[in-house]
Chain A
Amino acid sequence: MILWWIGDVVLLVVILPVVVYLLRGVLDVAKSIVPSVQEIAVVAAAGSKDLDAAALLLTTQDQATQTIAGVANYGGSLDVILDDAA
């Protein structure tokens, strides 16, 4: 009979607080992850939006090609017009 009462006391005084403490720790950690994940989602969306201009690299490539071609033509003409130094 006494052992039963001791078991009840241990259950109420030790086991229940320990269970509550552990569950509260898990809940706090889970809640702390939520804002971090939401911030990461916002940053990922912003990063994706920033990369919208990456498609313009194709235009940049075309313009660089045309510029280099023009420079090459200009250099070829200079090569014909100017005398060599040596």
Chain B
Amino acid sequence: MLAYTIRRLAGSIPTILVLIVASFFLMRLAPGGPFTSERPLPPEVLANIEARYGLDQPLWKQLWDYLLNIILRFDFGPSLVFKDRDVSDIISQGLPITLTYGLLTFVVATVVGVSLGVYAAMHHNTWVDYLAVSLGIFAQSLPNFIMGPVLILIFTLWLGWLPGGGWNGGQWPYLIMPVIALSTSYIGSITRITRSAMLEVLNSNYVRTARAKGLSERSIIWRHTLKPTLLPVVSYLGPVFVYVVTGSVFVDIYFSTGGLGQYFVSAALTRDYSVLLGITILYGVLTVIVNLLTDLAYAWLDPKIRL
């Protein structure tokens, strides 16, 4: 298991490097930058600014310095728009917020989705099952940007129960709506994935053996079917993480939570390349880590992969 982990870790290093290099060139080759405004700056001023941000160096030198700074000091350079802030500052400020509700979403979507899916499969072809499937599909077509306004409309504007936005140190009234808005759609898809996986397992030969051994239904579900049912769910968690990360952009803006997504969009609108680059790389690294974790979870669930 340890050897497998190390091997997978080593395998993801090139992925991260290629990611950094590719995004770096994409940004640098882009026409226009934060200093291209309507009113062209005098050439000497522009040269001055470019020298300050190291933009006058040859491209490979810029890339090399950039890489070294990230690896040695976790330093993504200064923001091009906020004059006195480093990208690392922005990240260290926004990331904890995003991670808090992101992880919560992850947990809620998985726990609720898996429970509903298992329940539906156990009551296959009854009205519970049909309801779960239809609701699952319905939930899937309710993405964050639909759920957000609807939730605010109901709970803030009509009922006045929950604050319409803000973070306030992550107290639970401020967390409820972002988490529901983000997780609804994935609860739907996880329910459906779990259900069909569970149905397949329930039809397997080894469940038949377990029945032939006279085991109780409860022990069949918990001991014999749960782990294999979770396999496809676990491989779906990687994509879910990506969706949650993407969705955080919406949450941060719509609920003004102050997470990373807010900076991402404002950087996109102002062409603040160093912030964009920094956040993209960070998200990439996080995704690689999550994929690694899901692979390990997969190996834990399936002894055939365990090495």
Do A and B truly interact? no
